[in-house]
Structure 1
Amino acid sequence: MNLPDRVLAALLALSSAVLAQAAEPSAAYVAMGSSFAAGPGLLPYAPDAPPGCARSLANYAQQLATLRGLRVNDVSCSAATTRALLEPWNEMPAQIDALGTDTRLVTVTVGGNDVGYIGGLLAASCGKLAAQGRVSASRCRAAAEPTEADFAALARSLRELAAAVRVRAPKATLVFVDYLTVLPPAGLCEAAPLPEPAADLARRTAARLLAVTSAAAREAGALLLPASRLSAEHHACASEPWMWGYPAPAGGAPYHPNAAAMAGLAGALHEALGR
């Protein structure tokens, strides 16, 4: 994958020496995050992961570790919020507990669950299909529009997370990987059965999520892999989607990254670290 110049400029915010250290073969690598990092629907799952995490052995962290010969400790988990990275959650330790002084690379994809991003998409799509009699309304969950307080809390948590990474793994390169693009910039398709107001809300939420994540990376002196830009032409309605639509094919996870997406992210990270 050849990264656009603007993407490389965003990635190479740290010195090449630091990046080289993070990319050394056998370096310790910790991957944290929510379902967009874990990879639900992409079998096989890690046998030692809690069942609810749906942590794929084909997610971008696992593929990056294979490409670079890194020692990966993948603690990502579906449904995780930023607090699950910082504090124990669902009888699991805080994800950040996986870091140590030997950690040289940390990737993070998180925040969507803090603001109800994918949950809102799922609820709206289910509701539309239920109104058409295509699914039972009992399957659909309600979703609320994220508030300014939600985004402010997310920003604080991301800053806290970056600071905690610096304390626990002072020699690590921290890379925030933002959320892949789910919907086209305008219009919809059969793979995205949404009312237009719900689609517009999802686009606004995605834009705010990117802005908050970008600001956290910039303030922390961390890197940002702009997955949203890399996947801008691979949304759920594209001819070559990196995103399952709704409903997903058997075994897939609606509005989540497919195999092509995870391979694309791993390749982009591999190229960035190689530079």
Structure 2
Amino acid sequence: MKAIWLPGMLSLLLGGCAASGSESGRALPPKARFASLGSSFAAGAGIGPLQAGTPERCSRTTNNYATLLAARLDLNLVDASCGGATSEHVLRGWSELPPQIDALDRETRLVTITVGGNDLGYVGWLFASSCRLGVAAFPGPCRPAAEPTDADYARLDRNLRAIAQQVRVRAPQARLVFVQYVTLLSDTACGLETVTPADAAVARRIAQRLASVTDGAARASGADVLDADRLSRSHTPCSPEPWSNGLSPGYNRTQGAPWHPNAAGHAAIARELASLLQARPALNRK
């Protein structure tokens, strides 16, 4: 089962499970241990100063949604998110980096995760399209990109379910929240979203299936979902109040990483997470 959080309301999809009575059903106490896992969409690439001690490749910033949420709710954050990470890196590590799941322990009370886009080459597809259109931000040759296969989606589904299972084993008191990827493309692309119509259609399909796989894994594991994709549909790069950056010939990298959430997007996710966590302490656990 899961919770879908929309502005101003909480729609609960309830199954037939009885209340577990676990610690995760209580409100988070001050200084509770909180672990953030995932890719650059969790790490906050390019939106502020780097966190002290962050590995160079990870680009964890002090303005990412986990840091803002921890400050808002007075939580002790362990941020293991990393730019470029896949679900495999959460489970099994990445070169010199340990598995992100190792950030959890039995005292952990909250786990958030945004991962899966790199498994599917989601942002890579958008970068490749922008590059083929001659966007000046790319100094070298364009890198090829392939549309993900059914096998890629199936592998991601297995990994997300395995991550949820590991959270339950390693942090039995923790509440798990999957945070969806923000919507990056409007229905009709503008000059701030430099992609071809055909490539935009593929990117939208990837985003939709990524969200569906994430929903399914969360539902199967009894986790919550913050529907950042739905929340951000009116906040694409073409909107008056964008929560993400597109890529155009005049792109300014001081705004953050292209084709990623911007500072406003991370702030919005932190606010919605706080509302979700405070509106109802936890869903019933399976």
Q: Assess same fold via TM > 0.5.
A: yes
Q: State the AA in 1 paired with 2:206.
A: T
The question of 1:3 aligning with 2:4 is answered no
Deviation track 1:69-128 (CA, whole Å, cap 9, x = no partner) reads 000000100000000000120210000001000000000000000001011001101111
1:74-223 equivalent positions in 2, closer than 5 A: 74-129=79-134, 134=136, 138-184=140-186, 186-223=187-224
Contact between 1:22 and 1:173, CA under 8 Å: does it hold in 2? no
Query: Hey, what's the Cα distance between the residues in 2 that align with 1:20 and 1:257?
Result: 30
Greater strand share, structure number:
2
Query: Hey, what's the Cα distance between the residues in 2 that align with 1:11 and 1:39?
Result: 30
Q: State the AA in 1 paired with 2:92.
A: E
SS at match of 2:245: coil
Partner of 1:267: 271
Give the Å deviation of 1:250. Answer: 2.5
Greater helix share, structure number:
1
Unaligned runs of 5+ in 1: none
Contact between 2:6 and 2:230, CA under 8 Å: does it hold in 1? no
Between 1:86-95 and 1:16-25, the stretch displaced more is 16-25
Query: Among residues 252, 255, 275, which one is paired with 1:249 in the alignment?
Result: 252
Distance 1:57 1:94, change over 3 A: same
Between 1:97-106 and 1:8-17, the stretch displaced more is 8-17
Partner of 1:36: 41
Give the Å deviation of 1:144. Answer: 0.6
Query: Hey, what's the Cα distance between the residues in 1 that align with 2:131 and 2:23?
Result: 46
Query: Hey, what's the Cα distance between the residues in 2 that align with 1:228 and 1:264?
Result: 12
Q: State the AA in 1 paired with 2:194.
A: P
Contact between 2:6 and 2:231, CA under 8 Å: does it hold in 1? no
Contact between 1:22 and 1:105, CA under 8 Å: does it hold in 2? no
Give the Å deviation of 1:143. Answer: 0.6
Q: State the AA in 2 paired with 1:75.
A: A
Query: Hey, what's the Cα distance between the residues in 2 that align with 1:22 and 1:48?
Result: 30
CA RMSD of aligned residues (A): 2.1
Contact between 2:27 and 2:278, CA under 8 Å: does it hold in 1? no
Contact between 1:22 and 1:104, CA under 8 Å: does it hold in 2? no
Query: Hey, what's the Cα distance between the residues in 2 that align with 1:4 and 1:12?
Result: 19
Q: State the AA in 2 paired with 1:250.
A: R
Query: Hey, what's the Cα distance between the residues in 1 that align with 2:88 and 2:24?
Result: 27
TM score, norm. by length of structure 1: 0.92
Deviation track 1:127-156 (CA, whole Å, cap 9, x = no partner) reads 1125xxx56673421111110010000000
Partner of 1:55: 60
Between 1:38-47 and 1:203-212, the stretch displaced more is 38-47
Query: Hey, what's the Cα distance between the residues in 2 that align with 1:221 and 1:180?
Result: 22
Query: Hey, what's the Cα distance between the residues in 2 that align with 1:227 and 1:250?
Result: 23
Q: What is the percentage of aligned positions where both structures have the same residue?
A: 46
Contact between 1:45 and 1:55, CA under 8 Å: does it hold in 2? yes
Contact between 1:124 and 1:194, CA under 8 Å: does it hold in 2? yes
Aligned residues: 269
Contact between 1:26 and 1:71, CA under 8 Å: does it hold in 2? yes
Query: Hey, what's the Cα distance between the residues in 2 that align with 1:238 and 1:160?
Result: 37
Query: Hey, what's the Cα distance between the residues in 1 that align with 2:275 and 2:110?
Result: 15
Give the Å deviation of 1:38. Answer: 0.2
TM score, norm. by length of structure 2: 0.89
SS at match of 1:129: coil
Give the Å deviation of 1:249. Answer: 1.6
Query: Hey, what's the Cα distance between the residues in 2 that align with 1:72 and 1:11?
Result: 29
Q: State the AA in 1 paired with 2:93.
A: P
Q: State the AA in 2 paired with 1:91.
A: E
Query: Hey, what's the Cα distance between the residues in 2 that align with 1:208 and 1:112?
Result: 10
Deviating above 6 A after TM superposition, structure 1's stretches of 4 or more consecutive aligned residues are 11-17
